[in-house]
Amino acid sequence: MTPVRTEIRGYVLVITIDRPEARNAIDLATSVAIAGALETLDADPQLRVGVLTGAGGNFCAGMDLKAFARGESPLVAGRGFAGLVGAPPRTPLIAAVEGYALGGGFEIALACDLIVAAEDATFGLPEVTRGLTAAAGGLFRLPRRIPYHRAMELVLTGRRWPAVQAFDAGLVTSLSRPGEALDDAVALAEAIAANAPMAVMASKRVLAESAGWDLAEAFDRQQPIVNPVRLSEDAQEGARAFADKRTPSWTGR
Catalytic residue among 7, 21, 119, 127: 127
Contact 7, 16 (CB under 8 A): yes
State residue 41's pLDDT score: 98
Q: What is the mean pLDDT of residues 112-129?
A: 97
How confident is the prediction for the chain on average, in pLDDT? 95
Instruction: Verify whether residue 107 is a known catalytic residue.
Output: yes
User: What pLDDT digit, counting tens, does each position of 1-34 carry?
Assistant: 799 999 999 999 999 999 999 999 999 999 999 9
The CATH number given to 4-193 is: 3.90.226.10
- Put the strands of the sheet holding 114-118 in their side by side order: 4-9, 12-17, 49-54, 93-97, 114-118, 174-176
Instruction: Verify whether residue 153 is a known catalytic residue.
Output: no
Of 124, 131, 132, the closest CA to residue 155 belongs to 124
**162-169 long-range Cβ contacts below 8 angstroms, 24+ apart:** 162/120, 162/121, 162/122, 162/123, 163/97, 163/117, 163/118, 163/119, 163/120, 163/121, 163/122, 163/123, 164/119, 166/115, 166/117, 166/123, 167/117
Which of 55-69, 154-168, 209-223 has the highest mean predicted lDDT (pLDDT)?
A: 154-168
216 pLDDT band (50/70/90 cuts)? confident
State residue 18's pLDDT score: 98
State residue 1's pLDDT score: 77
Catalytic residue among 7, 107, 180, 209: 107
State residue 134's pLDDT score: 95
pTM as predicted: 0.95
State residue 182's pLDDT score: 98
User: What pLDDT digit, counting tens, does each position of 128-152 carry?
Assistant: 998 989 999 999 999 999 999 999 9
* Measured torsion, CA atoms of residues 182, 186, 192, 193, in degrees rounded to the nearest 10: 150
User: What pLDDT digit, counting tens, does each position of 73-101 carry?
Assistant: 999 999 999 999 999 999 999 999 999 99
Question: Domains of the chain: which residue ranges?
Answer: 4-193, 197-244
State residue 211's pLDDT score: 86
Q: What is the mean pLDDT of residues 52-59?
A: 98
CA atoms 232, 235, 173, 48: torsion sign: negative
Q: What is the mean pLDDT of residues 199-225?
A: 93
Q: Which amino acid is at 98?
A: E
State residue 12's pLDDT score: 98
State residue 237's pLDDT score: 86
